[in-house]
Amino acid sequence: MKVDELPVDERIKRIIRERGIEELYPPQAEALKSGVLDGKNLVLAIPTASGKTLVSEIVMVNKLLREGGKAVYLVPLKALAEEKYREFKEWESLGIRVAATTGDYDSTDEWLGRYDIIVATAEKFDSLLRHSPKWVKDVKLVVADEVHLIGSYDRGATLEMILSHMLGKAQILALSATVGNAEELAEWLDAALVMSDWRPVELRKGVFQLGTLFWEDGKIDRYPENWASLVIDAVKRGKGALVFVNTRRSAEKEALSLSSKVSKLLTKPEARQLEELISSIEDNPTTEKLKRALKGGVAFHHAGLSRAERTLIEDAFREGVIKVIAATPTLAAGVNTPAFRVIIRDTKRYAGFGWTDIPVLEIQQMMGRAGRPRYDKVGEAIIVARTDDPKKLMEKYIHGKPEKLFSMLANEQAFRSQILALITNFGIGNFRELVSFLEKTFYAHQKGDIAALEYKAKNVVYFLIENEFIDMDTSDRFMALPFGKRTSQLYIDPLTAKKFRDAFPQLERNPNPFGIFQLLASTPDMATLTARKRELEDYLDLAYEFEERLYTNIPYYEDSRFQGFLSQVKTAKVLLDWINEVPETRIYETYNIDPGDLYRILELADWLMYALIELYKLFEPKDDVLQYLRDLHLRLRHGVREELLELVRLPNIGRKRARALYNAGFTTQDAIMRAKVRDLLEVEGIGIKVVEGLFRYFGVEMPGKVREAGKKAETRKKGTLDAFLK
Ligand code: ADP
């Protein structure tokens, strides 16, 4: 189908043609003929890179131009929200306003009312729904990207509930990877189903064992014995390769070992480009390894890297500066990083108590990264048979069908939180109404019977009543209590809220960072750092040393909570170091964690600390305790000791700059306001931009001469500024 033949506004076609697209891919044409342009729901299950995004753009913009209202585009990751936001911005020339929102779960974000396309993570949109902003009633279309995540244990319930809420109220376009039961999903959503294996770049799949590469069509190629030869071969042909492994350490190890081989193939200009890339990366033990690998044109990619570093790697790989990435499977679920050749080193992973096979759905997503549209005629995806029989791997992962999706609504933690929200925020008035809502879910559709779910719901309702989240009046109608309503809006597990409330009396008596951090770490909303076997004794000693500061008893060794508790102690200790200004690098080394781990617990602790304060406010708070908590929150956010609190309130002043200013004698805001510009610029990390920001904040005009001088100097070389001003 030609773009010209599309039954949509001329302006939409013009923009698509401007992208160089004249002809729609076959599954795109099929999707757009399914009735979706006239408002029918659609499940589109086609491989990655086969143009799902374009279909959703056409459907969204067509709807917005015709009917007005809003479209919400749901993604599973923040990085994807940014990617889509950048893509959709292009429609602004038609007057369509695009916004992206991901953080802060306690907000109505009324400002979003001014936008037409809203890109959000599922969790963010779920939290928004709980605050019932006015603009929600204008949502006419929900696009759910990666909808197969409905089957994910921790995240599935959120997506399922959003769709259950929006079903019948807005049109739904669900974009999915190929799954075993797309029909079932489509039936539930009362949607047309378009399913296809069509890909813009042909995909060849095979299994590699000790030098023999068995292609799916029966052909055989020979290589040197080690699978690394597949990587070297790709690079020699001027192409890139992605290697998927099952752990972070394997990704690092393979990257370093491949790097020494790939480095020999680099040209001088390529090596220079890599040097430039390396110089833009911060120093810490993890990036030290990364930098060594990058020297040879290879990177590793895993959740231990910071978001900024991951983005840097993804971009440089797309540009061809990085030739090879060794990654954990998170990369396959993330932003678009196609490569000519994908090599899957591991098809098993360690989960809890043993090794399990990685699901077909996930392996197929990794394989789907093979082949760059417009650059490659064909992409190659190769599974390495290390211990398994190649025939078995071929059968399971290459010829086999991906798994079915199963509803994860009954996951206890998610369910508890969702039931509370239904009662406190979505006007479910009694048990009968609750049951009839549950009947609309994918769970109900799939099982055909919700007796088990009803039973679980009853238990949750008892729990909620018993703990004063909700109450029931004499005619059995639910009443939302302030504690429940606030818990739901704060987007935390009711169990977390209960733990907080139970700890308030002790906290009031003895507010202290360690006790509070252990409390945060003990909630189901916190991802704790695992205390390793050999560390247990150290953390037990620490717990005894700090026993008086804790709001809980130390469990006995036989207690099933023992190891979990020590992991909480470890996590609390990391947070304690952080607010005592222990340098990040020392934290990584001491606790043997990666930067990504620290960021993750800081982000979670920040949100939980906020929730703790908000809930404390509901229980006749003491002013001094409240102030203590707020200060601690600020210390946590910036990683500073108490004496720097005044300074980190200033714009662009974080833990490093605040410490430098303080040590240089600028210990208060007042001292900074009175300082000479020249003296401030002497302080490490303080440049003219920061000083300008400070002056603006104080409402003081910066002397014109100084500003000009500073700007000129800044455009020249760094480090000459002081000399220039003197
Ligand atoms: P998906 O969302 O399915 O992973 P995308 O929508 O991101 O895939 O599409 C991948 C690439 O293909 C994008 O660069 C997009 O511009 C391009 N593309 C989409 N549709 C067409 C088409 N009909 N013709 C040529 N290129 C297309």
User: Could you tell me the residue ranges of all domains in the chain?
Assistant: 3-195, 202-398, 412-490, 494-639, 645-725
Q: Give me the percent of the chain exceeding a pLDDT of 70.
A: 97
Which residue has its alpha carbon closest to ligand 1 atom 4? 49
Of 53, 147, 176, best ligand 1 pocket probe by most atoms within 8 Å of the beta carbon: 53
Q: Whole-angstrom Cα distance, residue 41 to residue 172?
A: 5
CATH architecture of 3-195: 3-Layer(aba) Sandwich (3.40)
Query: What atom in ligand 1 is closest to the CA of residue 20?
Result: 25
For residue 721, pLDDT over 80 is answered with no
Rounded to the nearest 10 degrees, what angle do helices 431-438 and 412-424 cross at? 120
Of the candidates 319, 374, 315, 378, which has an alpha carbon nearest to the alpha carbon of residue 20? 374
Which secondary-structure segment (H or E) carries 171? strand 171-176
Q: What is the structure's pLDDT at 716?
A: 42
Q: Whole-angstrom Cα distance, residue 76 to residue 79?
A: 9
User: Is 2.40.30.130 the CATH number for 412-490?
Assistant: no
Pair of tokens at residue 642: 């108490």
Q: What is the structure's pLDDT at 704?
A: 64
413 annotated ligand-binding residue: no
Q: What angle do CA 146, 150, 151 make, to 5 degrees?
A: 110
In the chain, the amino acid numbered 221 is D
Compute, in angstroms, the gap from residue 405 CA to the centroid of ligand 1: 26
For residue 160, pLDDT over 90 is answered with yes
Report the first-to-last Cα separation within the chain, whole angstroms: 69
**β-bridge mates for residue 101, sequence order:** 120
For residue 455, pLDDT over 80 is answered with yes
Interface predicted TM-score of the whole assembly (ipTM), two decimals: 0.98
For residue 660, pLDDT over 80 is answered with yes
Could you read off the pLDDT of 457-481 as tens digits, one per residue? 999 999 999 999 999 999 999 999 9
Could you read off the pLDDT of 617-628 as tens digits, one per residue? 999 999 999 999
Q: What is the structure's pLDDT at 702?
A: 72
Instruction: Report whether residue 50 contacts ligand 1, using a CB cutoff of 6 Å.
Output: yes
Q: Whole-angstrom Cα distance, residue 571 to residue 594?
A: 13
For residue 566, pLDDT over 90 is answered with yes
- 645-725 belongs to which homologous superfamily? 5' to 3' exonuclease, C-terminal subdomain (1.10.150.20)
For residue 164, pLDDT over 60 is answered with yes
Which residue has its alpha carbon closest to ligand 1 atom 17? 51
Q: Which one-letter DSSP state was computed for residue 61?
A: H
Q: How confident is the model at residue 715 (pLDDT cuts 50, 70, 90)?
A: very low
For residue 498, pLDDT over 90 is answered with yes
Q: Whole-angstrom Cα distance, residue 163 to residue 147?
A: 10
Q: How confident is the model at residue 332 (pLDDT cuts 50, 70, 90)?
A: confident
Instruction: Report whether residue 51 contacts ligand 1, using a CB cutoff of 6 Å.
Output: yes
Q: What is the structure's pLDDT at 335?
A: 81
The predicted model gives 446-456 an average pLDDT of 92
The predicted model gives 292-315 an average pLDDT of 95
- CA-to-CA separations, 705 to 85, 661, 674, 717, in angstroms, rounded: 40, 23, 18, 19
Instruction: Report whether residue 176 contacts ligand 1, using a CB cutoff of 6 Å.
Output: no
Q: Which one-letter DSSP state was computed for residue 384?
A: E
For residue 219, pLDDT over 70 is answered with yes
- CATH fold of 494-639: Sec63 N-terminal domain-like fold (1.10.3380)
The CATH classification of domain 202-398, taken from the options 3.40.50.300, 3.40.50.1010, 2.30.30.30, 1.10.8.50 = 3.40.50.300
Q: Give me the percent of the chain exceeding a pLDDT of 90.
A: 86
Q: How confident is the model at residue 357 (pLDDT cuts 50, 70, 90)?
A: very high
Could you read off the pLDDT of 394-424 as tens digits, one per residue? 999 999 999 999 999 999 899 999 999 999 9
Instruction: Report whether residue 26 contacts ligand 1, using a CB cutoff of 6 Å.
Output: no
Q: How confident is the model at residue 708 (pLDDT cuts 50, 70, 90)?
A: low
To the nearest whole number, what is the mean pLDDT of the chain?
A: 93
Strand 241-244 and strand 341-344: the pairing is parallel
Written in H, E and C, the secondary structure of 152-175 is: CCCCHHHHHHHHHHHECCEEEEEE
Fold agreement (3-195, 202-398): yes
Of the candidates 206, 212, 159, 195, which has an alpha carbon nearest to the alpha carbon of residue 52? 195
Instruction: Report whether residue 48 contacts ligand 1, using a CB cutoff of 6 Å.
Output: yes
Q: What is the structure's pLDDT at 178?
A: 86
Q: What is the structure's pLDDT at 717?
A: 39
Could you read off the pLDDT of 317-329 as tens digits, one per residue? 999 999 999 999 8
Q: What is the structure's pLDDT at 453?
A: 93
Instruction: Report whether residue 25 contacts ligand 1, using a CB cutoff of 6 Å.
Output: yes
Compute, in angstroms, the gap from residue 105 CA to the centroid of ligand 1: 32
